[in-house]
């Protein structure tokens, strides 16, 4: 039941983003919706109709890689999104949320990103490039949002032949970037942690202090310097709020230590 509620909310967000932000501002989003919008601007045929026509061959591809259940759910999502878009635009005549290109690009990107993220998180697809993105993400180190960003560049290049106003294309780029970031955040989470590599000669002292003062688990890595000297590196994952305390510990116990702090973009497992 929960998965269908999430899918329904995702479909509603997608439809609202297209009808409330993109169409009135003549902007593009990525994926199937972007291609459908582009063809709509060029031909006048409804966005919902184009979405159905585009997705039929891609659903066959999804069936091969993800199975019957995936395709059935995707058909439901594509049909619901297509109907919602046409009903909101043609029947309800929903007024735009805003007629302003920058605001339309930013908030439209948020709506589309949330919608796509909820749909993908439910192990379903909104069709089109989302299917391709999930296939590539399952076989490579690329994230689904990154694949979508690459594929959407193709849509934007095609839009140069439709729009005379280049500013619309540039704002569409901003919108697609916002969408990809929202999708990645929903799928991988926004971690409030940092990865710390600490190179020090006082490994035993720091190990005890970090364990007692920060309560962190970590790993000691053995290594060699460029001049053949033996080195030990403490690898730990630290909450952002504890970083300053760790910096003070390093300054106090070993001012000559070398510390590298990087972003923890995704984590899996306990890390003990």
Residues 160 and 226 occupy one common structural domain: no
Final residue of a structural domain among 150, 169, 188? 188
Q: What is the domain extent for residue 259?
A: 193-263
pLDDT at residue 104, rounded to an integer: 94
Residues 90 and 48 occupy one common structural domain: yes
Lowest mean pLDDT among 5-9, 64-68, 89-93, 117-121: 64-68
Residues 22 and 97 occupy one common structural domain: yes
For residue 244, being part of any structural domain is answered with yes
b/e 203-222 (16+ beta carbons within 10 angstroms → b)? beebbebbeeebebebeeee
For residue 228, being part of any structural domain is answered with yes
Residues 113 and 247 occupy one common structural domain: no
Residues 153 and 60 occupy one common structural domain: yes
CB contact set of 137 (below 8 Å; sequence gap of 6+):
143, 144, 147
Q: Which two tokens stand for residue 95?
A: 């007024």
DSSP state of 28: -
User: What does the alpha-carbon distance between residue 47 and residue 78 come to, in Å, rounded to a whole number?
Assistant: 12
What are 131-186's pLDDT values in tens digits? Answer: 777 788 778 877 776 787 787 777 778 777 777 777 888 898 888 889 878 887 78
Mean residue pLDDT across the chain: 81
pLDDT at residue 16, rounded to an integer: 94
b/e 29-63 (16+ beta carbons within 10 angstroms → b)? bbbbbbbbbbbbbeeeebbbbbbbebbeebbeebb
For residue 270, being part of any structural domain is answered with no
Residues 210 and 177 occupy one common structural domain: no
What are 34-70's pLDDT values in tens digits? Answer: 788 888 888 878 877 887 788 877 777 777 777 777 7
Point out which residues pair with 259 in neighbouring strands.
198
Residues 119 and 199 occupy one common structural domain: no
Alpha helices in the chain (DSSP H): 2-17, 23-25, 31-43, 47-86, 101-121, 129-139, 144-159, 166-188, 203-209, 243-253
Rounded to 5 degrees, what angle do the CA atoms 42, 44, 48 make?
105
What are 173-221's pLDDT values in tens digits? Answer: 888 889 878 887 787 666 667 888 888 888 888 888 778 777 767 788 8
pTM passes above 0.75: no
Residues 219 and 84 occupy one common structural domain: no
Asked whether residue 108 carries a pLDDT value surpassing 90, the answer given is yes
For residue 269, being part of any structural domain is answered with no
In terms of Cα–Cα distance, which of 69, 95, 183 is closest to 134?
183
Residues 123 and 154 occupy one common structural domain: yes
Final residue of a structural domain among 188, 220, 255? 188
**Between residues 26 and 100, which one has the greater pLDDT?**
100
Residues 199 and 159 occupy one common structural domain: no
User: What does the alpha-carbon distance between residue 170 and residue 51 come to, in Å, rounded to a whole number?
Assistant: 23
In terms of Cα–Cα distance, which of 190, 245, 173 is closest to 215?
245
């Amino acid at each position: 039941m929960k998965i269908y509620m999430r899918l329904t909310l995702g479909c509603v967000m997608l439809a609202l983003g297209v009808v409330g932000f993109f169409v009135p501002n003549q902007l593009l989003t990525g994926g199937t919706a972007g291609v459908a919008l582009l063809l709509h601007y060029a031909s006048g045929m409804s966005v919902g109709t184009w979405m159905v026509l585009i997705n039929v061959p891609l659903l066959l591809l999804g069936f091969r890689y993800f199975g019957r259940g995936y395709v059935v759910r995707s058909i439901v999502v594509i049909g619901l999104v297509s109907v919602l878009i046409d009903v909101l635009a043609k029947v309800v005549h929903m007024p735009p949320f805003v007629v302003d290109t920058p605001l339309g690009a930013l908030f439209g990107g948020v709506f589309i990103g949330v919608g796509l993220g909820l749909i993908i998180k439910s192990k379903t697809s909104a069709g089109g490039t989302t299917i391709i993105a999930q296939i590539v993400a399952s076989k490579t180190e690329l994230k689904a949002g990154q694949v979508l960003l690459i594929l959407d560049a193709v849509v934007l290049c095609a839009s140069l032949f439709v729009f005379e106003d280049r500013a619309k294309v540039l704002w569409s780029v901003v919108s697609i970037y916002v969408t990809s970031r929202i999708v990645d955040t929903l799928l991988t989470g926004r971690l409030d942690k940092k990865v710390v590599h600490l190179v020090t000669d006082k490994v035993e002292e720091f190990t005890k202090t970090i364990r007692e003062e920060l309560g962190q688990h970590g790993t000691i890595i053995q290594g060699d310097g460029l001049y053949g000297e033996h080195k030990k590196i403490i690898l730990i994952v630290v909450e952002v709020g504890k970083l300053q305390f760790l910096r003070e510990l390093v300054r106090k116990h070993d001012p000559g230590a070398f510390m590298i702090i990087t972003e923890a973009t995704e984590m899996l497992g306990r890390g003990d």
